[in-house]
Structure 1
């Protein structure tokens, strides 16, 4: 009996080793990496990268089924948006980062995304006071290869192009009750002095996670090669407030009727950032924002008209009735470009941007522009083009995509007789 045991033991060890090897290989390949990309309407999970047990040269997207689940511990996501299948539109052999290769051990599946396809989004907008606004949610995929029956259901890594180039760790303590978090993009190649682009988020992106402030809308695009090329490489600073920029000391929204609780601390944070980054060109500091952030951008310009080289403001929430003629006169020489939509039902243009612009022009403003769209539409053309209407409040889409180019009169804005876009115009402004 003892001899039989001795003969079987090596065999058992071999079987165990083989089983562990196969099991470990299968376990490793059950992990996936997702790519989250920024779109005009927000972020979406656009690709999933799968590890394979062998090297391949060809893959077929029809071999894969993908399903997704969305969950939040703070708010209940509607059942129709909480789970569902993801349509695979293409597949290719790739490396582990999703870059296409001729032969490799990974396959990247390209997933369908759309503004009216919530199952593709890893964030969710909540009205719950505990997690109001846009927040990351628990987003899980399950991928099955129908030929081998292999399943990938564990997220290993998340890649977010452009956003991954931002430092999200910034914090500035205003006082014992207010701390402002912020995201920063630092250009890799820059001149001895670089301009600074400041973006102030809307009411749905407050909190303490600045990634939401730059991905809830397509703010990351200010770090894109296209926009960076206009500025010769610029810093991008995206401060985030704990609540909403228009809140007064009681936490009540003000449209300019009374002072908010953040503007002084925010200005101190900006000046501290500039002071601690001597490579920033102080003659080329630009401030912009949307909705709540549009209010705050104008509020900062009104507080210190000589500090900024230009402003770029969309969906302005600052009501004209609360701005005095003296204040209007004080900023008439500050270059500002407004962007708004006529069907904006949140920041009513006749109460905000239209009278503000008209009063500035009447005061003698020479370099103030206003692009006034009928609607906010699909600029890509993939989802209906000009026939697809986004929420009329979302005019910041036109700023982030550098689409705005017409003035209030319908003619192109020009510099030295050359038509320019909003970013080209802004890059040319200097104190």
Structure 2
């Protein structure tokens, strides 16, 4: 007995089959990038590949990865526009990169290092319309050398910690002007939770709050390791449209005249606290690096009774522009400074050293200063103590909670026990 299929049914069947095949082929080209924050900044650390069928076996040596970096906003040196990314490991995973025994995805782990700029999705520029750090177009091409299969279409992007932040914050600090900010809410909230405020450096201004969080690993204040010290804390990361130290003429001030952002920034902070009534107003901490270090100290000088403590690295506020009366007004505010002796950008002899000495002379009791010879590789992967980052990057010691020594080289003690900068800060509370 013959079975007849109408032409219409046949056409529909063929279309359905084609679309199914097309979808499968397209899916096989998909990849997801994983961007992580490191001491030196962000890097594309993994790429997750979608497969046509589940597998139990993968060998990292079968895959080659190349990258192309481009931008419509900044000029990228030719040597940093394209090249090979080294694959160091591979494993079967789910679509989020979690390891499984059998699955339809594989995750390639890529080599990252401070001297591998091809790994960075950021490009830094000192001039042009995108001054400072900005995202680049990061095109990855992956080849399975055994099958010649190619993945070349980014489907998704995972940014650990950053994905836990609300990045939609906008505050109208002046008529017609807004300030962006990122906010993290603690996973384990207490009846009252403290607030950690981080103020970025001069290279992270603009309107994209992911830049300050990744530019120098500030997102780490939302990590479990640091959050545990505080029993869960809000993290607020405001972003300056320009640079915190700009005066009304757009020129950098080191404290000689007023900047144009501190009043609007303080209004943003107070508005955030007001809109989150479970924030413990006796445990609000402000810190920052370089430009942000200047601004953190500026806010403390303006309202010394508002903050429970300050944590300031690479201070850019010059001591000569701080009066003795101002020094005296903040001597009871707990502050921990972090700086490196070889910082050629915020020269310590002009900034943090005299400020610290003047506060000590004024009678400051709860005052600490971790003063390093160099900013070294704390991970140990790139030379350890023998690898030097630029001396301006002392905020690394704060972000990874490594600062623990005082100005005289002895451990900072709390109730007789050695503590790190975050342990110390978590214990500070306004009376």
Unaligned stretches of 5+ in structure 1?
A: 1-5
Name the TM-score, length of structure 2 as normaliser.
Answer: 0.96
How many residue pairs match? The answer is 426
Does the Cα contact within 8 Å between 2:74 and 2:123 map onto a contact in 1?
Answer: no
Deviates more, 1:176-185 or 1:41-50: 176-185
Please state if 1:283 is matched with 2:277: no
Give the structure 2 partner of residue 225 of structure 1: 224
Is contact 2:74–2:128 with CA below 8 Å preserved after alignment? no
- Corresponding position of 2:404: 405
Distance in 1 between the 2:8 and 2:383 partners? 68
Deviations 1:247-295 (A, max 9, x none): 0011010000000001111111111111111100000000000000000
Report how far residue 26 of structure 1 moved.
1.5
Query: Residue 138 of structure 2 corresponds to which residue in structure 1?
Result: 139
CA distance in 1: counterparts of 2:18 and 2:180, whole angstroms:
49
Structure 1: 4+ residue segments shifted above 4 A: 6-20
Measured after TM superposition, the shift of residue 18 of structure 1 is: 5.0
Alpha carbon RMSD of aligned pairs, Å? 1.6
Write out per-residue CA displacement over residues 158-204 of structure 1, whole angstroms, 9 at most, x where no aligned residue. 00000000000001101125311100000122111000000000000
Partner of 2:297: 298
Question: 1:74 touches 1:128 (CA, 8 Å); kept in 2?
Answer: no
Counterpart CA distance in 2 for 1:243 and 1:230 is 33
Given the alignment of the two structures, is residue 268 of structure 1 paired with residue 267 of structure 2, yes or no? yes
Contact persistence 1:201–1:213 (CA under 8 A) = yes
Range with bigger deviation, 332-341 or 267-276: 267-276
1:96 match: secondary structure: coil
Q: Deviations over 1:225-254 (max 9, x none)?
A: 010000000000000110000000110100
Residue 247 of structure 2: aligned partner: 248
Cross-structure match for 1:84: 83
How far is 1:23 from its partner?
3.2
Deviation sequence 1:128-168 (CA, Å, 0-9, x none): 33110001111110001111111100100000000000000
Other-structure match for 1:316: 315
TM-score (norm 1): 0.96
Does 127-136 or 336-345 show the bigger shift?
Answer: 127-136
Task: Write the distance in 2 (CA, Å) between the matches of 1:216 and 1:290.
Answer: 12
Secondary structure of 1:90's counterpart equals strand
Cα 1:20–1:170 change in 2 (3 A) is closer
- Which position in structure 1 is the counterpart of 2:378? 379
